């Protein structure tokens, strides 16, 4: 059939575009879960490529796979990790099956890339098979959370950089404004004088605690269930493989990865994700408190508090002339509201896992990725256009 190849499974047949690297399982997943435009993130695809390469290397170390096939799969993993095939991941990021469709999407893309490397046609799975070769000694249930953990660690490094910059800006302002006095307020009413310096140092201290909480949560992600296969027993994986695969993953990722002391724990429980989500939520709430304080302090001098004037970023009204709004602070507030919503979703999903598997890791990963990206991106703009801009301070004669 021109422009298509036919692939089949025990359910039936599907037409697959001839040039597609994905296969029948990916198409079924796309049909079943196409609820939005959200597709797996590049960083998760990179992470699963690292995991699959580690698995292929470990299988080769154990003499379980033909060397030629293993090397082709590893080369395919490198190509996938470089980001050139992200568009071949067609299954929605939120999916039933606990991530099976994502894992199969990866298996099919890697199998077809390996076939191409070996000089064969896509879909010739008798030569390189998505399950028998690419997924050897694995299950979605240990591969998927391991890839999620790696992706989260990488994403958190970016967020951490933005938070450190925010903390450092606040710390510098606390020293710069050390003796400049303003009226301290409780219940929104005048209470007693306090320096701008002490106020900004309090914000810096708050963010330092956020960094500690996020670092603690990130460290817990370095423990992964890879090697546990279906429910943590290592079913269909050799003991030697289970030892080798963590070593290989550590080499490939450059991260200090360790295996869970109890692999079943890493597959069925999601409390580490809930802890990270909680740390992100607390951080978002703290940033929102900082933003709200700046909004209040920058209310205009004539009719409001007017202790500071924020740099104007845009017109504040379509009808009132010369009005300016604290838009960058409002951005932080709204990002925080969404992070809190994502935390609720993670909490519910972590609680909803039954018995030996939590099947709701797709929505957990989706929510965590969105929270991290949103906080990092909002902070980058807030730092640039608000905290590092020309803020004017009005001590009001105190």
Count CB-CB contacts under 10 A for residue 171.
17
Q: Among this protein's residues, is 101 annotated catalytic?
A: no
Show the beta-strand stretches assigned E in the chain.
4-8, 13-17, 181-186, 189-195, 223-224, 258-259, 308-309, 392-393
Question: In terms of domains, do 340 and 284 share one?
Answer: yes
**List 317, 318, 344, 347, catalytic entry:** 317
Question: In terms of domains, do 131 and 164 share one?
Answer: no
- The tens digit of pLDDT for each residue in 239-297 reads 999 999 999 999 999 999 999 999 999 999 999 999 999 999 999 999 999 999 999 99
CATH classification at residue 121: 1.10.275.10
Question: In terms of domains, do 83 and 176 share one?
Answer: no
Question: In terms of domains, do 162 and 61 share one?
Answer: no
The pLDDT score that the predictor gives to residue 97 is: 96
Question: In terms of domains, do 117 and 186 share one?
Answer: no
- The tens digit of pLDDT for each residue in 349-389 reads 999 999 999 999 999 999 999 999 999 999 999 999 999 99
In a domain, residue 167? The reply is yes
Q: What is the DSSP string of 31-80?
A: HHH-SSS----HHHHHHHHHHHHHHHHHHHHTT-S-HHHHHHHHHHHHHH
| pLDDT surpassing 90 at residue 398 | no
| pLDDT surpassing 60 at residue 394 | yes
Question: In terms of domains, do 27 and 157 share one?
Answer: no
| pLDDT surpassing 80 at residue 396 | no
The pLDDT score that the predictor gives to residue 179 is: 86
In a domain, residue 239? The reply is no
In a domain, residue 318? The reply is yes
What is d(CA 213, CA 283) in angstroms, rounded to the nearest whole number? 9
In a domain, residue 292? The reply is yes
The pLDDT score that the predictor gives to residue 1 is: 54
Q: How much is the average pLDDT of 309-330?
A: 91
- The tens digit of pLDDT for each residue in 70-129 reads 999 999 999 999 999 999 999 999 999 999 999 999 999 999 999 999 999 999 999 999
Q: pLDDT-based confidence at 304, cuts 50/70/90?
A: confident
In a domain, residue 231? The reply is no
Range(s) of the domain holding residue 301:
143-222+263-393
What is d(CA 152, CA 44) in angstroms, rounded to the nearest whole number? 8
Question: In terms of domains, do 159 and 202 share one?
Answer: yes
The pLDDT score that the predictor gives to residue 302 is: 82
Domain end call among 136, 155, 180: 136
Report the length, in residues, of the chain.
Answer: 398
Count CB-CB contacts under 10 A for residue 321.
7
Question: In terms of domains, do 157 and 281 share one?
Answer: yes
Question: In terms of domains, do 345 and 212 share one?
Answer: yes
CATH classification at residue 161: 1.20.200.10
Q: pLDDT-based confidence at 301, cuts 50/70/90?
A: confident
In a domain, residue 230? The reply is no
Question: In terms of domains, do 311 and 182 share one?
Answer: yes
Question: In terms of domains, do 111 and 200 share one?
Answer: no
Question: In terms of domains, do 165 and 272 share one?
Answer: yes
Domain end call among 101, 136, 171: 136
How many distinct structural domains can be found in the chain?
2
In a domain, residue 249? The reply is no
Domain end call among 136, 167, 198: 136
What is d(CA 272, CA 368) in angstroms, rounded to the nearest whole number? 12
Q: How much is the average pLDDT of 221-241?
A: 96
β-strand partners of 14: 7
Q: How much is the average pLDDT of 30-58?
A: 97
- The tens digit of pLDDT for each residue in 171-222 reads 999 999 988 999 999 999 999 999 999 999 999 999 999 999 999 999 999 9
- The tens digit of pLDDT for each residue in 125-172 reads 999 999 999 999 999 999 999 999 999 999 999 999 999 999 999 999
In a domain, residue 247? The reply is no
The pLDDT score that the predictor gives to residue 120 is: 98
- The tens digit of pLDDT for each residue in 2-14 reads 799 999 999 999 9
């Amino acid at each position: 059939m021109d422009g298509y190849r036919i692939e089949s499974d025990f359910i039936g047949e599907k037409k697959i575009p001839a040039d597609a690297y994905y296969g029948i399982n990916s198409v079924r997943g796309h049909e079943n879960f196409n609820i939005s435009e959200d597709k797996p993130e590049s960083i998760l695809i990179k992470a699963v490529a690292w995991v699959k390469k580690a698995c292929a290397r470990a299988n080769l170390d154990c003499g379980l796979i033909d060397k030629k096939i293993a090397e082709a799969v590893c080369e395919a993993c490198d190509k996938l990790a470089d980001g050139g095939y992200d568009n071949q991941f067609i299954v929605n990021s939120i999916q039933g099956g606990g991530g099976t469709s994502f894992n199969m999407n990866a298996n099919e893309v890697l199998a077809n890339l390996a076939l191409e490397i070996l000089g064969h046609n896509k879909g010739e799975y008798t030569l390189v098979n998505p399950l028998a070769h690419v997924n050897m000694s694995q299950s979605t249930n240990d591969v998927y959370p391991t890839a999620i953990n790696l992706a989260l660690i990488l994403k958190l490094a970016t967020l951490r950089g933005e938070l450190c910059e925010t903390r450092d800006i606040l710390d510098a302002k606390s020293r710069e404004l050390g003796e400049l006095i303003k009226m301290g307020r409780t219940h929104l009413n005048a209470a007693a004088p306090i320096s701008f310096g002490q106020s900004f140092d309090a914000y810096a201290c708050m963010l330092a605690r956020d960094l500690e909480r996020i670092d603690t949560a990130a460290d817990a992600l370095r423990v992964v269930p890879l090697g546990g296969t279906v429910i943590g027993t290592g079913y269909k994986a050799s003991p030697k493989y289970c030892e080798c695969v963590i070593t290989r993953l550590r080499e490939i990722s450059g991260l200090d990865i360790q295996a869970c002391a109890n692999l079943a724990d890493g597959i069925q429980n999601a409390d580490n994700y809930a802890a990270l989500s909680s740390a992100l939520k607390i951080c978002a709430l703290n940033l929102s408190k900082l933003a709200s304080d700046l909004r209040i302090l920058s209310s205009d001098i004539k009719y409001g508090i007017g202790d500071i004037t924020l740099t104007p970023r845009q017109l504040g009204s379509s009808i009132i002339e010369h009005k300016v709004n604290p838009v960058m602070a409002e951005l932080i507030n709204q990002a925080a509201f969404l992070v809190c919503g994502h935390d609720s979703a993670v909490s519910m999903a972590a609680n909803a896992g039954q018995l030996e598997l939590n099947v709701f890791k797709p929505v957990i990963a989706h929510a965590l990725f969105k929270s991290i990206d949103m906080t990092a991106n909002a902070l980058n703009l807030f730092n640039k256009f608000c905290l590092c801009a020309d803020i004017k301070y009005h001590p009001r004669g105190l």
